[in-house]
């Protein structure tokens, strides 16, 4: 009971702090410094039939608060620092704690409930067509749609908190294609993003990993998004004889839209496909069979935009093989089916309702059942 009261008190304080931040954001502190951030809160419920035959039902209210300062030092140089914390009414919440965390525990989706950190501390230099950002930052390459998800890079989805420590170079091409290159630092205790087992960063050669992408977006065109990504994690995949292998992943995505009727409604169809050529063994992941596990992953999304003004619905179907180890949105060795409703209340406010089903593709040899998750949330997000 005391633990629950402590969590509720933390939520109340966090909500009280977020209200004046939203008001301050409307007025810059001065000509160069402004308050930035967002607040996301909602009700979450999960019904799990677990691999050991047990059943879990979890109901909770969650809050994620992110607030910081951005300074325009010059026409070309910008700096930002931001606090981020996540909280819950569930009894399993950790004690409220702030720290400058380094890596995220392998296999986790980000910081634990109750934890907070600085998830952005960066300097950004921008020239006419290119920019270079250095420090701790947020990076994401999502498939566009009502329920935006990514096979490989999406810091801090939902109420999660993760980040990228490193350098981010971007070049805007005159033909609409943008080039992105990220060099990311990985700590020995874990990367700063979601990395699934059996990825490991204890080897010194795994300290720096790399990401490169080509992407084109055009909201007014029929093809609204095209992109290809490459991820290289040196010495991050445990191999035979104790010698780690490199983990590579290749992703392609595309989305197109068409008008439906004369009322402004649009249909958007998107797809994303990924392939990892070097994967763990079945025995390492406790799956049946010989050799290595599969390294394919994919999602397809069907979106009905502005069914009524500001109201949209999207459906996502996805599958990730056991050897796909990068996505924060899709767990390895699982199918996913999701329906999401979105109501854009205003430019920086929205309400979303999600219903999702996930289940294991292959049953682990050390467990009697496949895991099945049925979950739902209703959440509100405001940006400032």
Residue located via tokens 């959440």: 379
Give, in order, the Cα–Cα distances in Å from 69 to each of 31, 83, 121.
13, 9, 10
| Rounded mean pLDDT, 271-297 | 95
Q: Is the pLDDT of residue 6 over 60?
A: no
Query: Residue 28 — very low, low, confident or very high, per pLDDT cuts 50/70/90?
Result: low
In 3-state terms, what secondary structure has residue 114? coil
Q: Is the pLDDT of residue 242 over 70?
A: yes
Point out the least confidently predicted range of 8-22, 253-267, 354-368.
8-22
> In the chain, how long is the greatest CA-to-CA distance?
64
CATH code assigned at 64: 2.40.160.10
Q: Is the pLDDT of residue 15 over 90?
A: no
pLDDT at 106: 64
Question: Residue 263 burial (CB < 10 Å; 0-12/13-18/19+)?
Answer: exposed
In 3-state terms, what secondary structure has residue 136? strand
Residue located via tokens 């609204």: 224
* Cβ atoms of residues 205 and 235 within 8 Å: yes
Return d(Cα 152, Cα 137) in angstroms, integer. Answer: 16
Residues 6+ apart with CB under 8 A from 158: none
Counting the structural domains of the chain, the total is 1
Structure tokens at 122: 């960066």
| Rounded mean pLDDT, 198-208 | 95
Q: What is the mean pLDDT of the chain?
A: 91
Q: What is the pLDDT of residues 120-166, one digit of tens each?
A: 999 999 999 999 999 999 999 999 999 999 999 999 999 999 999 99
* Cβ atoms of residues 354 and 340 within 8 Å: yes
Q: Is the pLDDT of residue 312 over 80?
A: yes
Q: Is the pLDDT of residue 107 over 80?
A: no
| Rounded mean pLDDT, 364-381 | 97
Say what the pTM is.
0.90
pLDDT at 11: 44
Domain housing 148: 2-383
Percentage of the chain modeled with pLDDT above 90? 83
């Amino acid at each position: 009971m005391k633990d629950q009261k402590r969590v509720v008190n933390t939520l109340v304080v966090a909500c009280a702090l977020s209200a004046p931040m939203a008001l301050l954001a409307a007025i810059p502190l001065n000509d160069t410094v402004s308050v930035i951030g967002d607040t996301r809160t909602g009700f979450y419920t999960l019904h799990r039939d677990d691999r050991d035959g047990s059943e879990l039902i979890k109901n909770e209210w969650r809050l994620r608060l992110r607030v910081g300062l951005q300074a325009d030092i010059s026409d070309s140089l910008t700096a930002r620092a931001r606090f981020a914390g996540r909280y819950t009414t569930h009894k399993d919440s950790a004690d409220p704690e702030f720290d400058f965390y380094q890596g995220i525990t392998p296999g986790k989706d980000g910081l634990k409930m109750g934890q907070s950190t600085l998830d952005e501390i960066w300097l950004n230099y921008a020239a006419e067509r290119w920019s270079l950002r250095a420090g701790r930052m947020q990076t994401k390459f999502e498939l566009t749609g009502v329920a935006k998800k990514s096979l490989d890079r999406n810091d801090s989805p939902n109420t999660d908190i993760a980040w990228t420590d490193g350098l981010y170079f971007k070049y805007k091409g005159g033909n609409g294609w943008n080039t992105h290159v990220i060099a990311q630092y990985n700590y020995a205790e874990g990367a700063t993003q979601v990395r699934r087992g059996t990825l490991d960063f204890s080897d010194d050669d795994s300290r720096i990993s790399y990401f490169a992408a080509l992407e084109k977006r055009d909201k007014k065109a029929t093809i609204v998004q095209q992109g290809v990504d490459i991820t290289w994690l040196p010495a991050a995949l445990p191999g035979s004889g104790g010698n780690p292998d490199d983990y590579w992943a290749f992703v392609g995505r595309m989305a197109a839209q068409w008008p439906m009727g004369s009322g402004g409604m649009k249909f958007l169809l998107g797809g994303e496909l990924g392939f990892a050529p070097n994967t763990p063994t079945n025995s390492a992941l406790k799956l049946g069979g010989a050799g290595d596990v599969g390294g394919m992953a994919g999602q397809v999304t069907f979106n009905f935009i502005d069914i009524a003004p500001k109201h949209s619905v999207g459906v996502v179907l996805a599958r990730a093989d056991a050897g796909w180890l990068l996505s924060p949105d899709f767990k390895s060795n699982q199918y996913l089916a999701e329906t999401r409703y979105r109501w854009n209340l205003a430019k920086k406010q929205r309400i979303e309702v999600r219903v999702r089903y996930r289940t294991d593709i292959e049953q682990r040899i050390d467990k009697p059942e496949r895991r099945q998750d049925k979950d739902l949330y209703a959440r509100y997000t405001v940006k400032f």
